[in-house]
Amino acid sequence: MATLWNKGTSATEAVDRFTVGNDRVLDLRLARYDVQGSRAHIRMLESIGLLDAEELAALDAALGRIAERIEAGDFELEPDVEDIHSQVELLLTRELGEMGKKIHSGRSRNDQVLVDLKLFLRDELQAVRGEVLTLFRTLQGLSELYKEVLLPGYTHAQIAMPSSFGLWFGAYAEALVDDMYLMGGAYRIVNRNPLGSAAGYGNSFPLDRQMTTGLLGFDSPVYNSVAAQMQRGRTERAVASAIGGIALTLNKFAADCCMYMCPNFGFIHFPDELTTGSSIMPHKKNPDVWEILRGRCNRILSCENEVALLCSNMPHGYHRDWQLLKDILFPALEALHDCLRMTDYMLQHIEVNEHILDNPLYAHLFTVEEVNRRTLEGTPFREAYRQVGVEVNEGRFRYGGGDVADLKASDLHHTHIGSLGNLCNDKIAALMDAAADWKTL
Q: Residue 115: name the closest of 208, 6, 32, 202 by CA.
A: 32
Helix (H) or strand (E) holding 352: strand 351-352
**Non-local CB neighbours of 164 within 8 Å, separated by 6+ positions:** 146, 147, 148, 149, 150, 151, 409, 420
221: phi then psi, degrees, rounded to nearest 5: -75, 160
pLDDT band at 26 (very low <50, low <70, confident <90, very high): confident
pLDDT band at 5 (very low <50, low <70, confident <90, very high): very low
Helix (H) or strand (E) holding 174: helix 165-190
Check residue 3 and give its pLDDT. 54
d(Cα 362, Cα 32) in Å, to the nearest integer? 58
d(Cα 416, Cα 418) in Å, to the nearest integer? 6
End-to-end CA distance of the chain: 45
Check residue 11 and give its pLDDT. 59
Alpha helices in 312-415 (DSSP H): 325-347, 367-376, 381-393
Give the domains, in start order, of the chain with CATH numbers. 13-105 (1.10.275.10), 110-146+163-355 (1.20.200.10)
Beta strands in 206-331 (DSSP E): 220-221, 268-269
Question: What's the whole-number mean pLDDT along residues 326-339?
Answer: 96
Would you say 346 and 274 are in contact if contact means Cβ atoms under 8 Å apart? yes
Check residue 313 and give its pLDDT. 86
Identify the three-state secondary structure at position 262: coil
Question: In this predicted structure, which of 6-10, 60-64, 296-300 has the lowest mean pLDDT?
Answer: 6-10
Above 80 in pLDDT, residue 280?
no
Question: What's the whole-number mean pLDDT along residues 324-350?
Answer: 96
Kindly give the interhelix angle for 53-71 and 84-96, rounded to the nearest 10 degrees.
130
389: phi then psi, degrees, rounded to nearest 5: -60, -40
Tens-digit pLDDT profile for residues 154-200: 999 999 999 999 999 999 999 999 999 999 999 999 999 999 999 98
d(Cα 233, Cα 315) in Å, to the nearest integer? 12
**Non-local CB neighbours of 327 within 8 Å, separated by 6+ positions:** 21, 22, 26
pLDDT band at 405 (very low <50, low <70, confident <90, very high): confident
The two counts, helices (H) then strands (E), for the chain are 14, 6
Tens-digit pLDDT profile for residues 66-78: 999 999 999 988 8
Q: What is the mean pLDDT of the chain?
A: 91
pLDDT band at 21 (very low <50, low <70, confident <90, very high): low
Alpha helices in 348-421 (DSSP H): 367-376, 381-393
**Non-local CB neighbours of 138 within 8 Å, separated by 6+ positions:** 344, 347, 348
Query: Most distant CA pair in the chain: distance in Å?
Result: 94
Question: In this predicted structure, which of 78-82, 219-223, 268-272, 361-365 has the lowest mean pLDDT?
Answer: 78-82
Above 60 in pLDDT, residue 414?
yes
pTM over 0.85: yes
Check residue 286 and give its pLDDT. 85
Q: Please report, rounded to a whole number, the percentage of residues in the chain having pLDDT higher than 70.
A: 94
pLDDT band at 373 (very low <50, low <70, confident <90, very high): very high
pLDDT band at 23 (very low <50, low <70, confident <90, very high): low
Q: Please report, rounded to a whole number, the percentage of residues in the chain having pLDDT higher than 90.
A: 78
Question: What's the whole-number mean pLDDT along residues 401-428?
Answer: 91
pLDDT band at 320 (very low <50, low <70, confident <90, very high): confident
Beta strands in 121-261 (DSSP E): 150-155, 158-164, 192-193, 220-221
